[in-house]
């Protein structure tokens, strides 16, 4: 989004037109809708702007729920924004630490700042991009405790602030097509600069979940978060924001509510043992936090092969930290043998999972020439070091 487009939106005509539109429907005749709005006397530029926002608001419901219906977005800003459920966990951490005014440096469209303000924390939200800062100002307008400033994290005035939150920009600048920056020194602010704020104030830094663990400081709490089985971030927490005695944590957010595993460090793996009747696939947050061993001990399970993140047991146990599968049968990882076996069982639909084997699931599925009305899960992995295909079915508790 360019500043001229934003100026059109931030008018009485623009906002009224946007709020008057019905919920966005991707199947609707867009050409017809444009024609109707043009006949009503609206300029083509404004029509394009409001229809684009209607689409982004619809898309934004996945992250912001009902709040999205009154927010403004850019394509890149929405993609990079923290989900409201996750932002709420950030805000709760600041509140439990007894902090009252937070500097959100690199605030983007204001997702985290919104959660801080909703918990009645004072917020100074800072972003270096003029359009993004203007959108954050609009999104945070309902909260008197929130203030938006245009500027950089490095130059932000922290007077009156008792905590800092940063989400370093890890992509090239822009509002739509951006690309990832691989070197942490190129982020905005750079990773070392972000961590350095902890020398002054309690600090939290949001990072991508796949960051090189060697870059994470030993004196901070690192919490990986997954939402509906998808790992979305790792939060690095310093000072009063870090919980005593915890350096590794996996927070799982799902339909049944939050659940967390935590430890003073990476957990020791459980022993390798035979494949049992049940196989567990740990949540990605548990894997990233390297707490698979602790989960294995909770489940009284063993690992099926060294350095493979699958656990196995002869007992099915419900846990928020893993998905459970009943092992139907095992086969050597042989494409021809599997094709024959699946055909014999009438399996025409398979969910393919893999770990520890060099297989492209999409290409492998085509080679299986599936046919039939039955379905199953096919887990391609190593068992006791041997490449194995496990035919399994999900366990519903």
Distance between CA atoms of residues 3 and 371, nearest Å? 54
What percent of the chain clears pLDDT 90, i.e. is strictly above it?
Answer: 87
Listing DSSP states for 331-361 in one string gives EES-HHHHHHHHHHTTEEEEEEEESSS---H
The pLDDT of residue 347 is above 80: yes
* Cα angle: 51, vertex 57, 63; to 5 degrees: 155
pLDDT band at 186; cut points 50, 70, 90: confident
Is 58 in contact with 169 (CB distance < 8 Å)?
no
Distance CA(115)–CA(126), nearest Å, equals: 15
- Joined together, the tokens standing for residue 179 give 């690309």
Mean pLDDT of the region 267-293: 97
Query: Residue 26 pLDDT more than 80?
Result: no
* Euclidean distance between CA atoms 321 and 295, whole angstroms: 8
Q: 85 — alpha (psi -120 to 50), left (phi > 0) or beta?
A: alpha
Alpha-helical runs (H) found in the chain: 3-9, 12-20, 30-39, 44-64, 75-80, 84-96, 111-118, 130-139, 191-196, 284-288, 292-299, 335-344, 361-368
Residue 225 near residue 237 (C-beta atoms within 8 A): no
**Is residue 181 very low, low, confident or very high in pLDDT (cuts 50, 70, 90)?**
confident
Q: Taking the CA of residue 44 as centre, how many other CA atoms within 13 Å lie in the half-sphere pointing to its CB?
A: 1
Would the pLDDT of 182 be above 90?
Answer: no
Mean pLDDT lowest among 76-80, 309-313, 323-327: 76-80
HSE of 202, CA atoms in CB hemisphere, 13 A? 20
Q: 3-state DSSP call for residue 64?
A: helix
Hey, what are 341's tokens? 């076996």
Higher model confidence: residue 186 or residue 152? 152
DSSP string, 117-151: HHTT-EEEEEES-HHHHHHHHHHTTT-TTEEEEES
What secondary structure, in 3-state letters, does 285-327 show?
Answer: HHHHCCCHHHHHHHHCCEECCCCCCCEEECCCCCCCCEEEEEE
Distance CA(365)–CA(255), nearest Å, equals: 30
pLDDT exceeds 70 at position 177: no
Determine the average pLDDT of the residues in 356-373. 93
C-beta separation of 290 from 307 below 8 A: no
Q: What is the CATH number of domain 78-263?
A: 3.40.50.150
Beta-carbon neighbour count of residue 396 at 10 Å? 6
Say if strands 248-254 and 221-227 run parallel, antiparallel, or are unpaired.
parallel
Instruction: Calculate Rg over the CA atoms of the chain.
Output: 25
Interior angle at CA 169, CA 166 and CA 173, nearest 5: 145
pLDDT at 175 over 70: no
Residue for token pair 């194995």: 388
Q: Which three-class secondary structure state does DSSP give residue 14?
A: helix
Can you give the pTM of this predicted structure? 0.92
pLDDT reported for residue 312: 98
Distance between CA 252 and CA 254 in Å, rounded?
Answer: 6
Q: How confident is the model at residue 185 (pLDDT cuts 50, 70, 90)?
A: confident
First vs last Cα of the chain: how many Å apart?
Answer: 47
The pLDDT of 271-296, averaged and rounded, is 97
Secondary structure element (H or E) that encloses residue 208, with its range: none
- Residue-wise pLDDT for 89-138, tens only, equals 999 999 999 999 999 999 999 999 999 999 999 999 999 999 999 999 99
């Amino acid at each position: 989004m360019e500043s001229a487009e934003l100026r059109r939106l931030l008018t009485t005509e623009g906002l009224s037109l946007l709020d008057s539109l019905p919920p966005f429907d991707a199947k609707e005749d867009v050409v017809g809708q444009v024609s109707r709005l043009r006949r009503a006397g609206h300029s083509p530029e404004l029509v394009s702007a409001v229809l684009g926002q209607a689409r982004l608001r619809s898309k934004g419901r996945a992250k912001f729920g009902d709040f999205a219906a009154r927010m403004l977005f850019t394509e890149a800003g929405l993609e990079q924004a923290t989900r409201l459920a996750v932002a709420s966990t950030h805000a709760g951490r600041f509140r439990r630490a007894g902090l009252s005014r937070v500097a959100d440096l690199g605030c983007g469209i204001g997702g985290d700042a919104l959660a801080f303000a909703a918990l009645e924390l004072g917020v100074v939200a800072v972003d270096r991009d003029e359009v993004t800062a203007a959108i954050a100002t609009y999104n945070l307008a309902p909260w008197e405790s929130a203030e938006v400033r245009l500027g950089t994290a490095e130059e932000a005035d922290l007077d009156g602030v008792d905590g800092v939150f940063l989400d370093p920009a890890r992509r090239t600048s822009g509002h739509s097509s951006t690309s990832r920056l691989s070197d942490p020194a190129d982020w905005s602010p750079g990773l070392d600069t972000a961590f350095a704020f902890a020398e002054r104030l309690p600090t939290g830094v949001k990072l991508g979940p796949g960051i090189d663990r060697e870059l994470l400081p030993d004196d901070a709490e690192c919490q990986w978060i997954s939402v509906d089985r998808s790992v979305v971030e790792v939060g690095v927490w310093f000072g009063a924001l870090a919980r005593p005695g915890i350096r590794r944590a996996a927070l799982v957010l799902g339909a049944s509510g939050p659940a967390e595993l935590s430890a003073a460090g990476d957990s020791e793996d459980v022993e390798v043992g035979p494949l049992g009747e049940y196989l567990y696939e740990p949540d990605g947050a548990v894997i990233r936090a390297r707490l698979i061993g602790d989960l294995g001990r909770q489940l009284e399970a063993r690992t099926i092969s060294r350095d493979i993140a699958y656990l196995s047991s002869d007992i099915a146990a419900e846990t928020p930290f893993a998905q459970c599968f009943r092992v139907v049968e095992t086969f050597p990882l042989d494409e021809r043998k599997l094709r024959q076996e699946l055909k014999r069982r009438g399996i025409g639909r398979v969910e393919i999972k893999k770990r520890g084997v060099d297989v492209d699931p999409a290409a492998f599925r085509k080679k299986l020439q599936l046919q039939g009305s039955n379905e199953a899960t096919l887990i391609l992995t190593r068992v006791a070091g041997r490449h194995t295909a496990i035919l399994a079915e999900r366990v519903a508790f």
